[in-house]
């Protein structure tokens, strides 16, 4: 590590990987954030979103934006704001058999106000359960149609008699605003990296709080650096309507976005999964694929269903934004149920996700084409202190990394290209390139004029 690397992302990544920084403590801190945010009743608008942003603002210099209800955002309209005071179903004795105060998921999100007395048969069309998971509460929404409902464990429903029941949904749906938070960390370049997490789900630990926690810790890490190559923009917005609204209000920003990641579902079980951008071979795709596959994870092609990556990749924007998660939505039974609670999220998984995101950003920050300044045969590394004094032994990993860099440093091949050919870790080649550059054997070129993807082979 050269003196210039102190206070850089490369330095932070190396410190976490070596144990110099306590990654376990970071995982515990992120899990504590998940537990703290879990009770808040979030939706696509309302007090729960603002309360969530209040917590994030304790450690991030967030700028908060409020967009009035009725505002047009392309084909969408910002809806009325929704807030909850209380909601329950009570039997004849006044006992609440379904109670929003016990769990946020009991109330269908965006339920319209109701006060009525109903039999169980009258109530059934408004009740949602999971018969195959009789002890779990499902998560349901009615954002864009005026309806109402309750979610409950199927075992609860089977225990209910014919009633009658007092049904109360004490909510408000009225003109207000859609709220999102944004943090911009300026870099040496005005080119931007977008990191996005959705903030609209109530009491779902993996499906949104894990992404929020990792995004927050990544932002804190980057904010503490002395030097950043790119400008970083963190967006904490409600899913779909939030990202579409942000896109509609930031036409001047979009041309500057060079790379992006949507973070979600990063605290549950399963290996890391990266979903490519729509084009499939953007720089962020190559960087994320390198990191995720070396961590034993999976890379998937783009599909138009998922989280906000589908908004950023829409043909009108065509932004280079991929998605990082663990087991994707809908592929684990706890998804969108009360079983997705803080116990489902592991500090170690959050910690690994945090480091993986930093590693992807490290590739984006430090990848460059390099030129061998001593290209006529292998330069003598020993006289520059880069080769062991005693020869005849197998080359060390550090020496092999330098030899790989020198072998392909033709000014048109990037370090990530070399890592692909060599089957090497990008960080090892980054360190090797720094050593060679300090010794006057290598020059870093501006930009990344690479050979076409797939043209390099390890013959």
Contact assessment for residue 269 and residue 348, using Cβ atoms and an 8 Å cutoff = no
Whether residue 201 is annotated as binding a ligand: the answer is yes
Q: Which residues contact 371 (CB under 8 A, 6 or more apart)?
A: 409, 410, 411, 442, 443, 445
The closest alpha carbon to 288, from 351, 361, 360, 350, belongs to 360
Cα 109 to Cα 50, 105, 189, 451, distances in angstroms: 16, 8, 41, 50
Is 259 marked as a binding-site residue?
A: no
| CA 1 – CA 150 distance, rounded (Å) | 57
Walk across the sheet containing 369-372 and list its strands.
Answer: 410-414, 369-372, 442-444
Q: Specify which residues 83 forms β-bridges with.
A: 172
31 known ligand binder: no
Q: Given the DSSP bridges, would you call strands 257-263 and 321-325 parallel, antiparallel or unpaired?
A: parallel
Token reading at 3: 């003196």
* Cα separations in angstroms, 245 against 42, 65, 151: 18, 11, 29
Alpha-carbon 8 to chain mean position? 21
Dihedrals phi, psi of 66, to nearest 5 degrees: -120, 125
242 neighbors 68 (Cβ within 8 angstroms): no
Return the residue matching tokens 């390198």.
290
Please report, in range form, the residues annotated as the binding site: 201, 207, 336
Please report, in range form, the residues annotated as the binding site for Zn(2+): 201, 207, 336
């Amino acid at each position: 590590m050269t003196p210039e690397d102190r206070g850089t992302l490369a330095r932070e990544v190396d410190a976490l990987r070596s144990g110099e920084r306590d990654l376990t403590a970071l995982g515990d801190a992120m899990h504590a954030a998940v537990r703290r945010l879990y009770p808040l009743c979030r939706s696509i608008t309302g007090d729960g979103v603002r309360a969530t942003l209040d917590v994030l603002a304790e450690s991030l210099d967030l700028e908060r934006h409020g967009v009035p209800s009725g505002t047009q955002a392309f084909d969408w309209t910002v809806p009325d704001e929704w807030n909850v005071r209380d909601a329950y179903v009570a039997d004849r004795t006044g006992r609440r058999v379904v109670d929003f105060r016990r769990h946020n998921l009991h109330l269908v999100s965006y339920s319209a106000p109701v006060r009525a007395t109903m039999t169980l048969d009258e109530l059934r069309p408004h009740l949602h359960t999971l018969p195959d998971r009789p002890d779990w509460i499902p998560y349901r929404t009615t954002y864009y149609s005026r309806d109402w409902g309750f979610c409950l464990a199927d075992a609860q429903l089977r225990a209910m008699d014919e009633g009658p029941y007092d049904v109360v949904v004490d909510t408000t749906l009225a003109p207000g605003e859609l709220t999102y938070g944004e943090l911009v960390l300026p870099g040496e370049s005005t080119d931007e990296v977008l990191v996005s997490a959705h903030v609209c789900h109530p009491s779902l630990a993996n499906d949104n709080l894990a992404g929020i926690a990792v995004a927050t810790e990544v932002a804190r890490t980057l904010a503490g650096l002395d030097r950043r190559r790119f400008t970083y923009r963190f967006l904490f917005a409600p899913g779909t309507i939030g990202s579409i609204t942000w896109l509609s209000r930031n036409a001047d920003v979009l041309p500057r976005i060079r790379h992006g990641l949507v973070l979600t579902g990063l605290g549950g079980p399963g290996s890391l999964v990266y979903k490519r951008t729509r084009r499939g071979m953007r720089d962020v795709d190559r960087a994320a694929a390198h990191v995720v596959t070396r961590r034993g994870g999976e890379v998937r092609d783009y599909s138009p269903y998922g989280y906000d990556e589908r908004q950023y990749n829409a043909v009108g924007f065509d932004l280079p934004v991929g998605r990082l998660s663990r087991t994707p939505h809908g592929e684990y039974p706890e998804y969108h149920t009360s079983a997705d609670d803080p116990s489902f999220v592991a500090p170690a998984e959050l910690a690994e996700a945090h480091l993986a995101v930093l590693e992807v950003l490290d590739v984006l920050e430090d990848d460059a084409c390099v030129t061998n300044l001593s290209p006529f045969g292998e330069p003598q590394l020993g006289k520059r202190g880069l080769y062991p004094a005693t020869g005849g032994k197998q080359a060390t990993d550090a020496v092999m990394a330098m030899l790989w860099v020198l072998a392909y440093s033709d000014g048109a091949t990037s370090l990530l290209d070399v890592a692909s050919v060599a089957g090497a870790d990008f960080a090892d080649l980054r360190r090797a390139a720094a050593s060679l550059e300090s010794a006057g054997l290598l020059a870093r070129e501006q930009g990344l004029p690479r050979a076409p993807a797939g043209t390099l082979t390890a013959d």
